[in-house]
């Protein structure tokens, strides 16, 4: 499994498209702990979150980045924090959709996160029960069409983030 810098290099190496399906209510990310605590204390997000530099580093090269987050209202504190950052990701060029299972059930999606790069490689994400990232597992080529179908189901069912947040 890939993690750390090895996993990070995937975002430099893909050429055209990166799609992520997110399914967890909490992600325990070391680099976010201070920012998350500040958010919970009512301090808001840092200024750079208004135009996410990580997303911008990809979209400025003409790459497409998209995600669908499957979640359930009412939102966890972490999801409120994560969704507060989405407008800055969208400003930087990411396409974000939401499937709220409190409003709609969508059949045919996995119960785990994955990244699909250039329609050529799929990485299943592994996390602890507390949401700590364990690593990304490159799945064999014969699973590619399965995960492409998952992406298509998610994209067809998702509400664009702007519509979700207004609702």
- In this structure, how many other beta carbons lie within 10 angstroms of the beta carbon of residue 21? 25
Q: Of 138, 72, 128, which is closest to residue 105 (Cα–Cα)?
A: 72
CA distances to 74, 91, 154 from 52, in Å: 26, 8, 23
pLDDT tens for each residue of the chain, 167 residues long? 999 999 999 999 999 999 999 999 999 999 899 999 999 999 989 998 999 999 999 999 999 999 999 999 999 999 999 999 999 999 999 999 999 999 999 999 999 999 999 999 999 999 999 999 999 999 999 999 999 999 999 999 999 999 996 55
The CATH number given to whatever domain includes residue 110 is 3.30.870.10
Which string of b and e fits 40-52 if b means at least 16 CB within 10 Å? eeeeebeeebeeb
Give the chain's domain count: 1
Domain hosting 132: range is 4-166
pTM of the model: 0.95
Whether residue 95 contacts residue 52, with contact meaning beta carbons closer than 8 Å, is answered with: no
């Amino acid at each position: 499994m890939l993690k750390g810098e090895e996993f990070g290099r995937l975002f430099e190496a893909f050429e055209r498209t990166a799609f992520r399906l997110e399914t967890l209510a909490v992600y325990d990310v070391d680099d976010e702990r201070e920012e998350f605590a500040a958010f919970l204390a009512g301090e808001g997000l840092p200024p750079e979150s208004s135009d996410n530099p990580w997303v911008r580093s990809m979209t400025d090269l003409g790459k497409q980045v998209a995600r669908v987050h499957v979640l359930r209202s009412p939102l966890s504190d972490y999801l409120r924090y994560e969704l507060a950052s989405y407008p800055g990701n969208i400003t930087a060029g990411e396409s974000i959709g939401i499937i709220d299972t409190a409003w709609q059930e969508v059949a045919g999606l996995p119960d785990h996160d994955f990244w699909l790069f250039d329609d050529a490689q799929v990485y299943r994400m592994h996390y602890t029960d507390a949401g700590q990232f364990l690593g990304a597992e490159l799945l064999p080529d014969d699973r590619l069409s399965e995960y492409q179908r998952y992406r298509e189901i998610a994209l067809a069912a998702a509400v664009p983030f702007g519509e979700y947040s207004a609702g």
